[in-house]
Chain A
């Protein structure tokens, strides 16, 4: 959770360095470098690491040296982070536990309080010291050279110019105040004084801990940064109270369980009960905020099982299950046995409880180590997941398979019955055993019935996100690749009827078929890369670069969309948005390039025209441009022959004032003619970027009122809450 500033993808240099470091598993977090503010020029082109260490070394030694250096820094940084996080959390927990236990005048209880306070003093120093190491390592990573860790200018830059630095300053200030406060010898004999002093320690501890949230992954979430930071803040406070409180509680129980500690036993039992009550609420808070943060940072099953962040999170959850098991035993068995009058309470139970609580604390400290690793691992949402299984489960498998659908439905009902029995079994005492047994049978049978029909073949790349956006230029590039390589088997239209496809073990797939959720873009990527041996399709992983494969996939998406759009007419169907208009870039003469995306929020009439056939219609549109503009539609005209002299060819009369594309026309024509291949086509694109109507013609003049009515229809639609179309194939 704790670590450096905002994620910035745009800074190319930063990113290159990150990728290099990533090979050595360092720099896993993306930093906002202070260099961005100015000193980039002097350093440009000089890689600080290599400049310092290996001016005349061969490339291989260079690489080895870099990795060794970064691995060491990584290990050092991680341990420092862990110690810093653990001591900050234990500080909060120590104060919280003292406050929860309350003031006692029993000598043993007082002794315990003194020992916890002494520990807190040590922890405050430890947190300050490890905080310095964290800062030094952070600076070294920012600057990309080990020497920067001790360079005070570099450190000052990190402190003053990054958000992580600001947070560090605030936290360090609070920690210093806390340490000083803990060292003050304040008289706490009166109740009010005791409360004020202990409460203040808790307050300062929380104040020193919470800003961590503003320097972690949560601070890089966009949009919803404030919400993510708030959740993260709550999460660390809750962790502080719970995890941090375990060790002092174990100490109190152990002290009270000794022969000399009998006087503190009622106090210890009271403290354990209070802690147990508070812990229940705090764990609920942890679970809720943790789940929300996991959704924010991971977001998908593929991210959970397919990225290092997700797997670390699974380890964390596994450890948590262990802790919760201990906690359940402590709460329901051991704590219940401590009931009764103080001095008579059994010492063995108390000793065992102390041991179990200490075990919980040990597991919790391990969790904090995992959390430190998580804080320097890029969140799963920003990584390409590698799917580890051969199948995936998806409701999409049931499309067009009524028998399987029925089976899955029945299975799910059986499962729900099992779940209901499980709930009943936990509530009703009398029939617990048969109910739970029945529940397990029901759940098992339900899963056995419902899950197999949902299985779909999956590949490591299934959930890979395309690295090339769905844009006209990439579709056009993909179209060229298709013509050169794929057409001979898959056919000119993608129908699977190419001449060389006939002899194959299985006929080539009809690429025009709608791409349902059954095939992710990642599946296509896998097939293009590795081929489909059983069907006789070769792999093209060596022939095409990764970007080329994504371009091909973008083309395939446009191809099948176009095939599905063949029935789309010139009349807008209300509230049916499905045909995404691929973004494109164009310019008119020497003016700067614009994109279709800039027109979001307005309707666009994309006109693909060819002279001389389209002249009557173009004249008509030109004359009525004022009316069209008034109704809120922007016309963009694209000459199908991509003539750079298109504007002159349209002539001076009637005056054509809407954009006529002179650069970028080829890509637009290639992509959009997949949707409409007529000599003249007008595509009406709505405010969200979906193609809503396609009018195909030969370019003759037609009644303009029909078009105006369609535009008005789009204007009358409420802007949907639905997000704008994705820029990538999914």
Chain B
């Protein structure tokens, strides 16, 4: 065989090998990422979920039935922040006062969630 033909074949094999490897791994990685995103989205929609979170009562709006809570991370729903939550019953707002450190249960189909139980901690 002529040397230049052999060289051409070797280079072709190299390019195909490297390209195939790259495409194979690259596709697999993006495919996995897509699956993950789909799985995450499926986990979040349309299903009733429940979390137990700790926080501090910052304000109470009795007429609205709303508690403002500074809370920790709510996995898969929202990061730590201060925001208002609907209280499932008036008893819940009456049980606590501003400044209380609390552990509360949040239940519902996101984003429609409400505080269903609450207890002071410490």
Contacts and interface: CB of A to CB of B under 8 A. Distances in A.
A590 B70 CA distance: 9
Interface in B20-44: none
Given A590-B54, A590-B72, A655 B3 contact: no
A188 B11 CA distance: 18
A647 B58 contact: yes
B98 interface: yes
A192 B4 contact: yes
Interface string A182-209: 0010111010111111011001000000
Contact of A590 (B8, B68, B73, B101): B101
B3 A647 contact: no
Interface in A102-116: none
B10 interface: yes
A196 B100 contact: no
Interface string B43-83: 00000000000111011100000001011110000001010
B105 interface: no
A20 interface: no
Interface string A548-591: 00000000000000000000000000000000000000001111
A402 interface: no
A651 B7 CA distance: 83
A591 B99 contact: no
Contacts of A181: 10
A200 B98 contact: no
Interface string B81-116: 010000000000000011111010000000000000
A187 B7 CA distance: 12
A197 B101 contact: no
B119 to A, nearest CB: 12
Nearest to A189: B3
Interface string A482-503: 0000000000000000000000
- B14, B54, B58, B59, most chain A CB atoms within 10 A: B58
Nearest to B59: A655
Contact of B80 (A184, A199, A203, A594): A594
Interface in A641-667: 645-652, 655-659, 662
Contact of B72 (A187, A591, A648): A591
Contacts of A652: 59-60, 97-98
A348 interface: no
B16 interface: no
Contacts of A195: 4
A638 to B, nearest CB: 15
A533 interface: no
A592 B1 CA distance: 72
Contacts of A589: 54-56, 70, 101
Given A187-B2, A650-B99, A655 B7 contact: no
Contacts of B54: 589-591
Interface residues of A, number: 36
Contact of B3 (A197, A592, A646, A650): A197
A592 B81 CA distance: 10
A592 B68 contact: no
B56 A194 contact: no
A327 B1 CA distance: 42
A195 B3 CA distance: 9
A293 to B, nearest CB: 27
Contacts of A456: none
A73 interface: no
Contacts of B73: 592
A592 B59 CA distance: 19
A177 interface: yes
Nearest to B2: A193
A195 B103 CA distance: 77
Nearest to A174: B14
A659 B99 contact: no
B4 A659 contact: no
A184 B6 contact: yes
Interface in A432-470: none
A196 B4 CA distance: 5
A196 B3 contact: yes
A591 B56 CA distance: 8
Contact of A657 (B14, B55, B82): B82
B99 A647 contact: yes
Contact of A197 (B7, B59, B70, B80): B7
Contacts of B101: 589-590
A184 B82 CA distance: 73
B54 to A, nearest CB: 4
B56 A592 contact: no
Contacts of B100: 648
Contacts of A588: 56, 70
Interface in A378-417: none
A647 B59 CA distance: 10
B51 to A, nearest CB: 14
A193 B2 CA distance: 7
A199 B7 CA distance: 9
B122 to A, nearest CB: 8
Nearest to B55: A591
Contacts of A194: 3
A590 to B, nearest CB: 4
Contacts of A659: 70, 82
Given A590-B54, A591-B80, A655 B68 contact: yes
Contacts of A656: 58-59
Tell me which of B8, B68, B72 has the highest count of chain A C-beta atoms within 10 A of its own C-beta. Answer: B72
A170 to B, nearest CB: 9
Q: Which of A186, A190, A659 has the most CB of B within 10 A?
A: A186
Which 8 residue pairs of A and B lie closest in terms of their CB atoms, listed nearest first? A648-B99, A589-B56, A193-B3, A196-B4, A655-B59, A647-B99, A186-B3, A590-B54
Given A192-B4, A648-B99, A652-B98, 12 more contacts: A177-B14, A196-B6, A197-B3, A200-B10, A589-B55, A590-B72, A591-B70, A592-B72, A645-B99, A655-B58, A655-B59, A656-B58
15 contacts: A177-B10, A186-B6, A194-B3, A197-B6, A200-B7, A590-B54, A590-B55, A591-B54, A591-B71, A592-B72, A647-B58, A649-B99, A655-B68, A657-B59, A657-B82
